[in-house]
Amino acid sequence: MRLSRYFLPVLKETPAEAQIASHRLMLRAGMIKQASAGIYSWLPLGFKILRKLENIVHEEQVRAGHIPVLMPTLQSADLWRESGRYDDYGAEMLRIKDRHDRDMLYGPTNEELITDIFRAHVGSYKDLPLTLYHIQWKFRDEVRPRFGVMRGREFLMKDGYNFDLTKEDALHAYNRHMVSYLRTYERMGLQAIPMRADSGPIGGDDTHEFLVLADTGESEVFYDSAITDLTLGDRVVDYASRAECEAIVKEWTTPYARTDETHDAALYDAIPEARRKASRGIEVGQIFYFGTKYSEPMGANVQGPDGKSVPVHMGSHGIGVSRLIGAIIEANHDERGIIWPEGVTPFHAGIVNLKQGDAEADAACEALYASLVALGMEPLYDDRDERAGGKFATMDLIGLPWRITVGPRGLKNGVVELTCRRTGISEELPPKAAVEKLALAYAGHVLRPSL
d(CA 259, CA 222): 6
Nearest approach, Cβ of 131 to ligand P5A (angstroms)? Answer: 12
Q: Which residue is nearest to ligand P5A (CB)?
A: 320
CB 378 within 8 A of CB 347: yes
CB-nearer residue toward ligand P5A: 152 or 350 = 152
Nearest approach, Cβ of 336 to ligand P5A (angstroms)? Answer: 27
CB 315 within 8 A of CB 289: yes
State the DSSP H helix or E strand holding residue 258, giving kind and residue range, or none if neither: strand 257-259
CB-nearer residue toward ligand P5A: 151 or 172 = 151
Nearest approach, Cβ of 38 to ligand P5A (angstroms)? Answer: 7
CB 330 within 8 A of CB 165: no
CB-nearer residue toward ligand P5A: 83 or 322 = 322
- Taking the mean position of all CA atoms in its chain, how far away is CA 252? 20
Angle value at C-alpha 211, between 209 and 242, nearest 5 degrees: 50
Nearest approach, Cβ of 153 to ligand P5A (angstroms)? Answer: 7
CB-nearer residue toward ligand P5A: 149 or 365 = 149
Helices (H), 98-221: 111-121, 167-187
CB-nearer residue toward ligand P5A: 158 or 348 = 158
User: What three-state secondary structure class fits 41?
Assistant: strand
d(CA 378, CA 353): 17
How does DSSP classify residue 14?
A: P
Nearest approach, Cβ of 417 to ligand P5A (angstroms)? Answer: 39
CB-nearer residue toward ligand P5A: 160 or 379 = 160
Give the burial class of 144: count Cβ atoms within 10 A of its Cβ; 0-12 exposed, 13-18 middle, 19 or more buried.
exposed
Give the residues lining the site for ligand P5A (CB under 6 A). Answer: 109, 140, 142, 151-152, 155, 157, 159, 202, 283-286, 316-318, 320, 322-323
User: What three-state secondary structure class fits 426?
Assistant: strand
Nearest approach, Cβ of 437 to ligand P5A (angstroms)? Answer: 36
Nearest approach, Cβ of 297 to ligand P5A (angstroms)? Answer: 17
CB 235 within 8 A of CB 180: no
Nearest approach, Cβ of 33 to ligand P5A (angstroms)? Answer: 17
How does DSSP classify residue 290?
A: E
CB 148 within 8 A of CB 124: no
Nearest approach, Cβ of 285 to ligand P5A (angstroms)? Answer: 5
Start-to-end CA span in the chain (Å): 11
CB-nearer residue toward ligand P5A: 171 or 411 = 171
CB-nearer residue toward ligand P5A: 142 or 417 = 142
CB-nearer residue toward ligand P5A: 174 or 402 = 174
Give me the torsion for CA of 108, 112, 118, 119, rounded to 10°: -170
